[in-house]
Structure 1
Amino acid sequence: MMFRAMRRVRTVGWTLAVSIGFAGGMCAAMPATAQEAGAQVGADSEAGSAEQLKALRAEVNDRLRRLDAMQRDMAKEEAEFRVLRNKLNRELLSTQRGGADPNAPGGAWADVSSNPMLTQQNNPGEANGPGAGNAATGDQQPAPVGRAPERETRPPEVAQIFEQPGVLTPKGTFILEPSFQFGYSSSNRVALVGYTIIPALLIGLIDVREVKTTTYTETMTVRYGITNRMEVEFRIPYVFSSGQTVSREVLQGTAVDNTFDTRGHGLGDIEMTGRYQINDGSGGWPYFVGWLRFKSRTGKDPFEVVTDCVTRCVSNTTGTGLPLQLPTGSGFYALQPGFTWLFPSDPAVFFGNFSYLHNFQRTNVSRTVLAGGQEFLGTIQPGDIFGFNIGMGLALNDRASFSIGYDQSIVGATKQNGQTIPGSVRTVLGSLIVGYSYRINKRSTLNVTIGAGLTRDTPDLSLTFRLPISF
């Protein structure tokens, strides 16, 4: 037992000694190993931090580049949005002439309601949806609108009240425009031949005449767009006119008024016009359209109709001196250059024309008189005409518009054989014109124009209906 106990003590002691020795060795070796491991870990940590910092810097730079690109895109989108909004404002102000192409840039058929963003921008108080509150207070930023439209190069359209329209026909488009015009004019003439003893007593003859003329003109106009800036136009009129003259002629010893009625109808003077848009209205400039009109003499002229004269009408004593049939044309070729300008100024559009019409003289002219005779007149040179007009157009809604303007023409005196015809003087014609336009559909528009004469020589009333239809 003692032996066994001692052997166990020796075994435990040996085991303890071995354990203590091993632990001591481990402890002795441990400091060197821990330092090396710490140094390794520190090196690895420093290398990893450098790589992470480098990656973070690369990512920040990449995001900055993308942010700069997004800012440039946003600025571009904002500029494009302003262009689109300006275009929309012009569309809302414009009226529709039948020549407007629904698919052409600047066409008058833009559907505003189909774009809620544009509706909110122009009517912030009516915006709907989640961003309506901000839109109403002006805090909402304009959202990107996609690809910007092509820059507007066509002038805005207005209700046509003058003969020369301001907006040209788009390229490849035909415009067929039937129109009807009613005109009425009246004038009074009192001729005194004699002398007075006192202001209340006249010794001599009195010639009193009242002339009333009614004219109906049906015109078919065809326009074609050669390019978006150039068009040609042909006008073919058919004229029906009637006149009534109430008079007491000189040397007629009667106290009863005489009535002289006359009529005339037929083809009028065919016209051809070419127009070209000079600029695109950039830089705050108005739009300018130059044009050139040529008028033929296809209608029956005043020298072809029979006149109630036997001798010269200036000293006629055996006839009325009046035509038995009214002419349907002027009897002279004419060339008229001019230009039209349009200046958009929200919410109105101002426009006008300047023109100069030159009548070509005719030689060896003879007039047909009663009983088949001819009266030789020689060379006739009608007076040239300088004309200008100015107007303003305003859109009432997306279909209707209103225009008002003034038109004036200064007509020179007529000459015969180089001498001014007695009684022929310079004449000033002035009219106040009001026009309305209503878009029926995308291809047709109804225009109504009413004119009132402001001078004695101007027709008292003119009423014109136009219905341009595009194809």
Structure 2
Amino acid sequence: MPQSASQPVPAEQTGRPNPPPQVAPIFEQPGVLTPKGSYVLEPSVQFGYSSSNRVSLVGYTVIPAILIGLVDVREVKRNTLTGALTGRYGVTSRFELEARVPYVYRSDSTVSREVFTGSSTEKVFDATGKAIGDVELAARYQFNDGGADKPYFVSTLRFKSRTGKDPFKVVTDCVTRCLGNTTGTGLPLDLPTGSGFYSLQPGVTWLWPSDPAVFFGSFTYLRNFKRSDVSRKVINGEEALGTIAPGDILGFNFGMGMALNEKSSFSIGYDHNSVGRTKQNGVTVPGSVRTQLGTLLLGYSFRISPKTSLSLSVGAGLTRDTPDVTLTIRVPIAFF
């Protein structure tokens, strides 16, 4: 429900802290807290497309040097469709809880050629995967009362589960193992829908109303927890991998939003994540490098009714490992 950044409702009139101004959402973390005793249901759909010469992109398979075997990968075309239902509840005027349940459908087409076969002919290997994704739980707390030319600060703590299909549980096209096996491609026969690791992400979001715009951003740190006694599935067996520790992720974003009229608003922003190297049994995996993910985002929000809004955002990847384009539609519905 976008509104002008220069017209916050005084706290003395509402009996509760001034809420941050609302802008068209383009990042995962909302800046506006749910009022006390109210809840919001937000169905959303996100489509992502990427084309890369690396078979593993951050988000699902974080250990490319481990999972890739006997193919010379030329290009990977990846389509990802995620439908999610997010619920938020205002515990107090400054504190809210959130739960998000996603369902993921993925489709990969890998253009490559098999090695050790003497063939130079490129082939296309197709794989799909669909299942529930990683369920997330979050809590947010508003530190202060902001206002016109005064910033708001909101802290966030997010926990990501392992409910999605595990990358280590999908079957890899190898009879016993990839290295030295000339009959397998080393590619997964179906695709995971989760990261395979528990993670915890603290962060802080700031919003600064400055007529006629609202400036906003956040800083986050995502801690991935290592897994021990990990093995991956191959045809007719399993291969032990030991202890896998994916790299942690440092992230920040910033943007600006403006109210176009009483019902609509527009936002533009940039989101960046720096993903650390993956370790196997305490040693950095060969070929694992720190990855930079940068996305430029544009968003538009329209208030359908006093309790319902429609938000659309478009993201364009600015680095090689970032999805080329993402389209997200959200429909938050408030219940008072």
Asked if Structure 1 and Structure 2 have the same fold, meaning a TM-score greater than 0.5 normalized by the shorter chain, the answer is: yes
More helix by share: 1
Aligned to 1:299: 164
**Counterparts in 2 of 1:325 and 1:445: CA distance versus 1, 3 Å:** same
Moved over 6 A (4+): none
Deviation at 1:172, TM superposition (A): 0.6
1:18-417 aligned within 5 A: 91-93=3-5, 153-188=18-53, 207-281=72-146, 284-313=149-178, 316-371=181-236, 373-417=237-281
Kindly provide the amino acid, as one letter, of the partner of residue 194 in structure 2: G
**Counterparts in 2 of 1:149 and 1:293: CA distance versus 1, 3 Å:** closer
Deviation at 1:343, TM superposition (A): 0.4
Q: Distance in 2 between matches of 1:401 and 1:175?
A: 20
Residues 318-340 of structure 1, C-alpha deviations (whole Å, 9 max, x = no match): 31111001001111100000010
Deviation at 1:253, TM superposition (A): 2.5
Q: Distance in 1 between matches of 2:29 and 2:98?
A: 10
Q: Distance in 1 between matches of 2:181 and 2:26?
A: 42
**Counterparts in 2 of 1:314 and 1:184: CA distance versus 1, 3 Å:** farther
**Counterparts in 2 of 1:452 and 1:94: CA distance versus 1, 3 Å:** farther
Could you say which structure has the greater relative contact order, defined with CA pairs below 8 angstroms and 6 or more residues apart? 2
Give the root-mean-square deviation of aligned CA atoms. Answer: 2.3
Deviation at 1:285, TM superposition (A): 3.7
Work out whether 1:454 is the aligned partner of 2:318: yes
**Counterparts in 2 of 1:467 and 1:189: CA distance versus 1, 3 Å:** closer
Larger Rg over CA atoms: 1
Q: Distance in 2 between matches of 1:359 and 1:322?
A: 24
Aligned to 2:63: none
Aligned to 1:434: 298
**Which runs of no fewer than 5 residues in structure 1 stay unpaired?**
1-89, 96-103, 108-146, 191-205
Kindly provide the amino acid, as one letter, of the partner of residue 349 in structure 1: V
Percent identical among aligned pairs is 64
Deviation at 1:106, TM superposition (A): 7.0
Q: Distance in 2 between matches of 1:212 and 1:94?
A: 45
Q: Distance in 1 between matches of 2:104 and 2:87?
A: 18
**Counterparts in 2 of 1:330 and 1:106: CA distance versus 1, 3 Å:** farther
The answer as to whether partners of 1:94 and 1:395 remain within 8 angstroms in 2 is no
More strand by share: 2
SS state at 1:92 partner: coil
Residues 20-61 of structure 1, C-alpha deviations (whole Å, 9 max, x = no match): xxxxxxxxxxxxxxxxxxxxxxxxxxxxxxxxxxxxxxxxxx
The answer as to whether partners of 1:93 and 1:347 remain within 8 angstroms in 2 is yes
**Counterparts in 2 of 1:232 and 1:440: CA distance versus 1, 3 Å:** same
